């Protein structure tokens, strides 16, 4: 199975080289990475280019003009990879919140489902042990909110650690996805669910980022809170695909 992982980056110069080393050390025979960098001011894009020169067949980089958002970075990455020959397409953050070794478990889970999801909210999953109570509560509430309103069959709806079968993404109307912040994860899970695709959740420990700053903002949270109510209307025409 040829897996390509998309890593969106915005100011991840410290994290990206270490993460790529960890990923390419995994015992996965055919692993590629696509970095989508939004013209980071800390030089992440140039660092990615240098690393790509060292691994021309396994690492490629898309450079965008500025901070255009996580959702649009993934959509651009998905569209690019759907032109190629990857069997599975992954998503993960650049900041080590997602343990690269868990990609092995996601890959194993994908054998028997359409989308494997790294999950903080199934037994065995958890949030950073040093997070204050209010942060844990906000995260849990956001998940409960989206999952309940949209009747999603997964516990972790906002996480960004996933592995998709190529055919699943190819069947999705990606050009209709408008969510750009972390609600993008909810949006794509909702579309996949409405089309009848099957998920499997793999428990993960979500660690706080080791270097750099979070790009989470009040604006991104408001987008999420409101968009959850718009999605059922936006996708009211979607029906399970007959397999
Ligand atoms: N290309 C791109 N990447 C982004 C953008 N916003 C966040 N990211 C990346 O998305 C991932 C998750 O963002 P992060 O700030 O860690 O979010 P948090 O974990 O919720 O605080 C990281 O790899 C970021 O570098 C963006 O606008 N464009
Ligand atoms: Mg993070």
Q: Which residues pair with 35 in a beta bridge?
A: 7, 61
Token couple for 90: 């992954």
- What is the per-residue pLDDT for 243? 63
The pLDDT tens digits of the residues spanning 164-191 come to 999 999 999 999 999 999 899 999 999 9
Of the ligands numbered here, which is closest to the C-alpha atom of 94? 1
- CA 214 to chain CA mean position, Å: 15
pTM beyond 0.75: yes
Confidence of residue 48 (pLDDT cuts 50, 70, 90): very high
The Cα 178–Cα 90 span in angstroms is: 20
User: Given phi > 0 = left and psi -120 to 50 = alpha, else beta, which region is 39?
Assistant: left
- Gap from CA of 10 to ligand 1 centroid (Å): 6
With H, G, I as helix, E, B as strand and everything else as coil, classify residue 142. helix
- Gap from CA of 197 to ligand 2 centroid (Å): 27
- What is the per-residue pLDDT for 215? 86
Arithmetic mean of pLDDT, 82-105: 98
Which spans in 2-99 are helix H? 15-24, 44-54, 70-82
- Gap from CA of 39 to ligand 1 centroid (Å): 13
Q: Which residues pair with 31 in a beta bridge?
A: 3
The pLDDT tens digits of the residues spanning 56-81 come to 999 999 999 999 999 999 999 999 99
């Amino acid at each position: 199975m040829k897996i390509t992982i998309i890593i969106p980056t915005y100011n991840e110069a410290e994290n990206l080289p270490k993460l790529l080393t960890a990923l390419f050390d995994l015992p996965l025979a055919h692993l590629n990475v696509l970095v989508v960098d939004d013209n980071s001011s800390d030089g992440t894009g140039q660092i990615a280019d240098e690393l790509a020169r060292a691994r021309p067949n396994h690492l490629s980089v898309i450079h965008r003009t500025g901070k255009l958002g996580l959702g649009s970075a993934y959509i651009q990455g998905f569209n690019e990879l759907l032109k190629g020959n990857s069997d599975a397409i992954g998503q993960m953050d650049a900041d080590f919140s997602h343990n690269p070794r868990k990609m092995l478990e996601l890959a194993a889970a994908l054998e028997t489902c359409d989308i494997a999801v790294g999950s903080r909210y199934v037994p065995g999953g958890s949030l950073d042990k040093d997070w204050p109570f209010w942060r844990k509560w906000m995260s849990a509430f956001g998940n409960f909110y989206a999952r309940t309103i949209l009747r999603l069959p997964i516990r972790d709806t906002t996480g960004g650690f996933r592995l998709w079968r190529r055919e699943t993404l190819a069947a999705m109307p990606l050009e209709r996805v408008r969510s750009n912040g972390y609600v993008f994860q909810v949006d794509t899970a909702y579309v996949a669910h409405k089309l009848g695709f099957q998920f499997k959740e793999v428990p993960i420990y979500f660690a706080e980022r080791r270097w750099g700053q979070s790009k989470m903002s009040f604006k991104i949270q408001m987008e999420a809170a409101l968009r959850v109510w718009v999605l059922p209307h936006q996708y009211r025409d979607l029906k399970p695909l007959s397999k």
